[in-house]
Homo-oligomer: A and B are copies of this chain.
């Protein structure tokens, strides 16, 4: 086991402070700073509506370089017209003054309620405080400061060798409602000390996100502020990776592991969730059908409430597959809860209800559909749907 989170790799300091954006006094501003300018890449929400801090970051990361990321929780800085853009620019400029870099090298994130402006006095005080408390052990404080309705902070890290150089990848993520492919009310920052060119870094990030962050769903909603950012500062000392090959593959493989652990933590901490649910499809005819089916099941409130109620109501799972828009032969489908076959060739079986209830009581539930119609396997992570989801989201702003 290695040190977790964004300060696990060489040459990254971080901090998390409270500047009063959250009424309850919790940490609400995080800063991550690389000792050297890092190669940078990002992936952003597919939502047509985009927050102002997100727009700043989308624009600036195009250069492929960044020094720092500043993220506030408690306010999304979204839907505020020109004022929102000006506030984002001034947030970056203010932070860059302390760090000693161009404002364009400061990436931003804002998460929280939409339509209320940032309190820039608080933001500036927060940035000053966050800069003063930067440390090489600050990753876990930063991971706490980006939380909104999350019930616990999410951090992960992994390591591998390139020749005699140890390369480390660390990451943090937040988000538990409005979670759905592609991108959710999630923000994730991943740091690494590998030396790699920005194009390959972006490619690796996209590949890793597609099978991790883009494979989780809490409620089918995607937000206006979602992003994953990666900074690679080269301080591991390896020769810069500028083409695909074994070194790139090793990097990608650990990046996948880190992204997948963060993604599963997000799904498991879904608002009000009592369990992590993995939906698997096997032997689908094509990738598009697999996606449609996984998304429909993972989004279905009827499936998710049944799992909350530990009710082996597989008819709802089959029904969701049926309306997903994917074409398949219903008379060929097998459905499993855990390893228990409950429906064979589209026909319900007299299965052991006690065993099903036992399987559904666990913290992690796996549901599998076998379409016997091709060779595509895929999976998505989601969670169940409880009273607490309604409580949390019926009173979020108040």
Please give the distance in Å from A349's CB to the nearest CB on chain B: 8
* Interface of chain A, main secondary structure: loop
> CA separation between A320 and B222, bound complex, in Å?
8
Q: A301-B389, A323-B221, A387-B387 are in contact. Are A348 and B394 (CB under 8 A)?
A: no
Cross-chain contact B323 with A48 (CB below 8 angstroms):
yes
Please give the distance in Å from A113's CB to the nearest CB on chain B: 7
Instruction: Tell me if A359 counts as interface (CB < 8 A to partner B).
Output: no
Q: Provide the A260-286 mask, 1 if CB < 8 A to any CB of B, else 0.
A: 000000000000000000000000000
Cβ < 8 Å to B, chain A residues 316-369: 316, 318-323, 326-328, 330-331, 342-343, 345-348
Cross-chain contact A47 with B302 (CB below 8 angstroms):
no
Contact of A47 among B323, B391, B394, B397 (CB under 8 A): B323
> CA separation between A116 and B115, bound complex, in Å?
49
Instruction: Tell me if A24 counts as interface (CB < 8 A to partner B).
Output: no
Instruction: Tell me if A78 counts as interface (CB < 8 A to partner B).
Output: yes
Q: Most B CB atoms within 10 A — which of A79, A306, A343, A386?
A: A79
Please give the distance in Å from A271's CB to the nearest CB on chain B: 9
Q: Chain B contacts of A312 at CB under 8 A?
A: 397
Kindly report which residue of chain B lies nearest to residue A317, judged by CB atoms.
B114
Q: A330-B48, A389-B305 are in contact. Are A80 and B396 (CB under 8 A)?
A: no
Cross-chain contact B389 with A348 (CB below 8 angstroms):
no
Q: A46-B323, A47-B323 are in contact. Are A394 and B347 (CB under 8 A)?
A: no
Instruction: Tell me if A178 counts as interface (CB < 8 A to partner B).
Output: yes
Cross-chain contact A311 with B116 (CB below 8 angstroms):
no
Instruction: Tell me if A314 counts as interface (CB < 8 A to partner B).
Output: yes
Q: Most B CB atoms within 10 A — which of A76, A114, A302?
A: A302
Please give the distance in Å from A58's CB to the nearest CB on chain B: 14
Q: Provide the A12-54 mask, 1 if CB < 8 A to any CB of B, else 0.
A: 0000000000000000000000000000000001111110000
Q: A46-B323, A49-B318 are in contact. Are A396 and B222 (CB under 8 A)?
A: no
Q: Chain B contacts of A81 at CB under 8 A?
A: 331, 345-347
Please give the distance in Å from A226's CB to the nearest CB on chain B: 10
Q: Chain B contacts of A224 at CB under 8 A?
A: 315, 318-319, 322
Please give the distance in Å from A293's CB to the nearest CB on chain B: 10
Q: Chain B contacts of A328 at CB under 8 A?
A: 48
Cross-chain contact A113 with B315 (CB below 8 angstroms):
yes
Q: Chain B contacts of A306 at CB under 8 A?
A: 393-394, 396-397
> CA separation between A201 and B302, bound complex, in Å?
34
Known: A79-B346, A311-B395. 9 other contacts (CB 8 A): A48-B327, A78-B315, A114-B315, A221-B316, A301-B393, A311-B396, A386-B390, A386-B394, A387-B387
Q: List 28 A-B contacts (CB under 8 A).
A: A47-B322, A48-B327, A49-B318, A49-B319, A49-B321, A50-B330, A78-B315, A79-B315, A79-B330, A80-B347, A81-B345, A114-B315, A114-B316, A114-B348, A115-B343, A116-B348, A221-B300, A221-B316, A221-B323, A222-B319, A224-B322, A308-B390, A309-B393, A309-B395, A309-B396, A311-B394, A313-B397, A390-B390
The 3 closest A-B pairs by CB, nearest first: A114-B315, A309-B394, A115-B348
